[in-house]
Structure 1
Amino acid sequence: MRVMVADDAALFREGLARVLADAGFDVVAKVGDAHALLERVRAEPPDVAVVDIRMPPTHTTEGLDAARTLHATHPGVGVLVLSAHVEAHYALQLIESGARGAGYLLKERVADVAELGDAVRRVAAGGLVLDPSVVARLVGRRRTRSPLDDLTDREREVLTLMAEGRSNQAICQRLFLSPKTVEAHVRGVFGKLGLHQGADDNRRVLAVLTHLRH
């Protein structure tokens, strides 16, 4: 699988490229800013671009803006945005701006090779990936009254994994539950939240996130 890396911090960029290479990915380009990334993608599109959210010249949302551009010009290229901080509003903007092949992870996840590799592969396959810390902040947000209050502890666990972009099979493996049990919990979550269960994993993630952000 072909991957491009964009980060203005040379040491982090090289370290990330090494981690990805050791995990079996073909790192075809390493660049220091969003403009260079877009130029390389235009010349030779990869399967996934892993992009720092803050890069030159303003160090604000260059990576996020590049992700949006790539979704418009190269919809087949997955984009995984890395951030040093939990910024739920940016994460939601990214996920909701492109319904396929988008992800937002904290940079600290890079140390977990298995987690990083899984995220890159899921994004390459057109899935949605959201950092657990962002999901935890959304789920744990204080509200005067929320349908989340009606969820059981197990349904809340299932909801959290759904919002991260996990499939039913992945939830089974994570929670050590049977497929039928997970399906029942998913139906319970959607019923209590008043949501329609989507036809695919991405639609259900978007439905859950839309509910959690309000």
Structure 2
Amino acid sequence: MRILLADDATLLREALCALLERLGHEIVATAVDAPGLLRAYAAQSVPPDIVVTDVRMPPDGTDDGLRAALSIRRHRPMQPVLVLSQYVAERYARDLLLLPEAAVGYLLKERVNRVSDFDRALAAVASGGTVIDPEVTRHLLRSDAAGPLDALTPREREVLALMADGASNAEIASTLFLSDAAIRKHIGNIFAGLGLCPADENRRVRAILVFLQAQHAR
């Protein structure tokens, strides 16, 4: 198979390239961040047989890789995509796994150690199937009775907790070693995840109240 591979961890990316080539596949391009993945995909004169991408990548270091995969699928609905991750990015995992055209997979990276299982997953997704890591399935089933904060990523919850402590955007950026732009994006995602209307001028206060109520309910 012709594979486009994206992962920001150099050692893992190179190890995956070596493994995939040993299994007889061709790496048509690699990327180290989400914009690079989109550029590499657009540069292919013939679409790859499958896109394999990490979830957490630059520029934001959150779910950028998964969002890039969803962007690719919006432009080419039949493109097979296999996502590898160390955690379950619930908000976008559901969006990916519920795509009507299938040809998607979501595996935790520990499964890559089982080479034969990994190769079978690649083949299944490339041929139009859906492959879901058992732990991902358990996580999504547990979250069916979701609390108000369950739509947020771990990083977004960190940002919201700091907001509830009264921190400004600049203070949050300094605490988390992120750019102001990244914090603004996280906060926008928090508002969207909590279903707060853009026209509501009190969204920040409402988001903090949701957080405090969720903490009190524990």
Q: Which residue among 45, 53, 56 is the counterpart of 2:55?
A: 53
Give the alignment of 1:61-80 within 5 angstroms: 61-80=63-82
Matched, 1:32 2:35: no
Distance 1:8 1:142 in 2: 28
Quickly say closer, same or farther: Cα 1:143–1:31, change in 2 above 3 A: closer
Aligned length, in residue pairs: 143
Matched, 1:10 2:13: no
Q: Which residue of 2 aligns with 1:22?
A: 22
Quickly say closer, same or farther: Cα 1:134–1:143, change in 2 above 3 A: closer
Letter of the 1:113 counterpart: V
Q: For 1:91-123, what per-residue CA distance to the aligned partner results, in whole angstroms no more than 9, with x for missing partners?
A: 222111453211110011111111111111111
Quickly say closer, same or farther: Cα 1:142–1:4, change in 2 above 3 A: closer
Quickly say closer, same or farther: Cα 1:89–1:3, change in 2 above 3 A: same
Matched, 1:132 2:134: yes
Q: For 1:147-179, what per-residue CA distance to the aligned partner results, in whole angstroms no more than 9, with x for missing partners?
A: xxxxxxxxxxxxxxxxxxxxxxxxxxxxxxxxx
Runs of 4+ in 1 over 3 A off after TM superposition: 86-90, 136-139, 141-144
Distance 2:102 2:140 in 1: 21
RMSD: 2.1
The 3-state SS of whatever aligns with 1:20 is helix
- Scaled by the length of structure 1, what TM-score is found? 0.61
Q: For 1:20-40, what per-residue CA distance to the aligned partner results, in whole angstroms no more than 9, with x for missing partners?
A: 111111111121011111112
Contact 1:85 1:106 (C-alpha < 8 Å) held by counterparts: yes
Contact 1:99 1:128 (C-alpha < 8 Å) held by counterparts: no
Q: Which residue among 113, 120, 127 is the counterpart of 1:111?
A: 113
* Greater shift in the superposed pair: 118-127 or 72-81: 72-81
Quickly say closer, same or farther: Cα 1:143–1:56, change in 2 above 3 A: closer
Q: Which residue of 2 aligns with 1:156?
A: none
Q: Which residue of 2 aligns with 1:123?
A: 125
Give the alignment of 1:189-204 within 5 angstroms: none
Quickly say closer, same or farther: Cα 1:143–1:66, change in 2 above 3 A: closer
Q: Which residue of 1 aligns with 2:158?
A: none
The 3-state SS of whatever aligns with 1:27 is strand
Letter of the 1:42 counterpart: A
Distance 1:90 1:117 in 2: 24
Alpha-carbon deviation of 1:142? 9.5
- Scaled by the length of structure 2, what TM-score is found? 0.60
Letter of the 2:28 counterpart: V
The 3-state SS of whatever aligns with 1:46 is coil
Q: Which residue of 1 aligns with 2:157?
A: none
Quickly say closer, same or farther: Cα 1:12–1:99, change in 2 above 3 A: same
